[in-house]
Amino acid sequence: MTLTIVSLLPSLQNTNGDAENAAVLAARAGWAGHDARVVPVERAEDLPSQVDAVILGSGSDASLETSRTRLLEVHDELRRWGTEGVPILAVGTGWELLSWGIERPDGSTVEGLGIVAGRAVAREGRIAGDLVVKAGGGLGLLVGFENHARDYVGAEASPLGRVQAGSGNGRGSGQEGLRMGDVIGTHLHGPVLAKNPKLADAMLERICVRAGSTYEPGAQALVVDRYADSARAAQLRAAGVAASVGA
């Protein structure tokens, strides 16, 4: 059996390399002895018959309307995947497009797909810099880079984690991201799964369980993770966050 990881709209939603999270999942699955492939999906007709995970990266505001139109073609599938427990990782504007909607500074709005709770609202000034989040479920500290001009409201009951450095969802919430079942939305760019192997492995565990299999990180993953650990340690130092916070 081959695990199929869908990368949604990679030509539009890959501003910060977020679409490459799909490649991270496929590589780690391969190191664990599982066959895996990444399928780029630009239009509904590109969808494979089997979907085991979905990655939706972040794009520019200039592409919001086009991306929304394309995503509407697979709206029913996105809703079904979320209900059936297919792991979905949406980053930046990809996450915002799955929400109730996006509010622009000029007062205009882009209606979201309504897959997850909450909405993106304009803020004064852009936030860009290191973002460190303490997540539950044994994930510890997640690191990445945030770059957004909107806050996210309405996700208070189900955040990905608590902000240790950076802004996250903003508005004084102290929270970052959203987690609804196996659907994750986040401001963590990177790609986040390369920087945070525990999050990648948690997704792969769910993917394999749904596929009737098991997941155990391969030997190559342990080698690669040492590089990720070094990069994470450097980012934590730069952000002024002690590694022990995530223990």
pLDDT band at 219; cut points 50, 70, 90 = very high
Strands, DSSP E only, in the chain? Answer: 2-8, 35-41, 53-56, 88-91, 101-103, 109-111, 119-135, 140-153, 161-165, 175-176, 178-180, 183-186
What is the SS3 assignment for 199-224?
HHHHHHHHHHHHCCCCCCCCHHHHHH
Q: Residue 157 pLDDT > 80, yes or no?
A: no
Q: Residue 246 pLDDT > 80, yes or no?
A: no
Please give the class, per CATH, of domain 2-246: alpha beta
Query: What are the boundaries of each domain within the chain?
Result: 2-246
Percent of the chain with pLDDT over 70: 99
Calpha distance 245→247 (Å, rounded)? 6
pLDDT given at position 247 = 60
Closest CA to 13 of 75, 79, 68, 85: 68
Q: Residue 110 pLDDT > 70, yes or no?
A: yes
pLDDT band at 245; cut points 50, 70, 90 = confident
Residue scoring higher pLDDT (172 or 10)? 10
Quote the crossing angle between the two packed helices 219-239 and 197-210, to the nearest 10°. 140
Q: Can you name the residues that pair with 162 across neighbouring β-strands?
A: 134, 175
Please confirm whether the linkage preceding 191 is cis (ω < 30° from 0): yes
Kindly name the residue from 34, 148, 187, 189 that is annotated as catalytic.
Answer: 189
Residue type, 53: A
The overall average pLDDT reported for the chain is: 95
- Cβ-contact 132, 239 below 8 angstroms: yes
Closest CA to 145 of 84, 194, 76: 194
Phi-psi region of 149 (alpha: psi -120 to 50; beta: other; left: phi over 0): alpha
Q: 84: which 2 tokens?
A: 């059936």
DSSP letter, residue 83:
H
Per-residue pLDDT of 52-97, as tens digits, reads: 999 999 999 999 999 999 999 999 999 999 999 999 999 999 999 9
Looking at residues 40-47, what average pLDDT do you find?
Answer: 98
189 included as an active-site residue: yes
Looking at residues 118-126, what average pLDDT do you find?
Answer: 94
Per-residue pLDDT of 222-243, as tens digits, reads: 999 999 999 999 999 999 998 8
pLDDT given at position 242 = 86
Binding residues for substrate: 126
Binding residues: 126
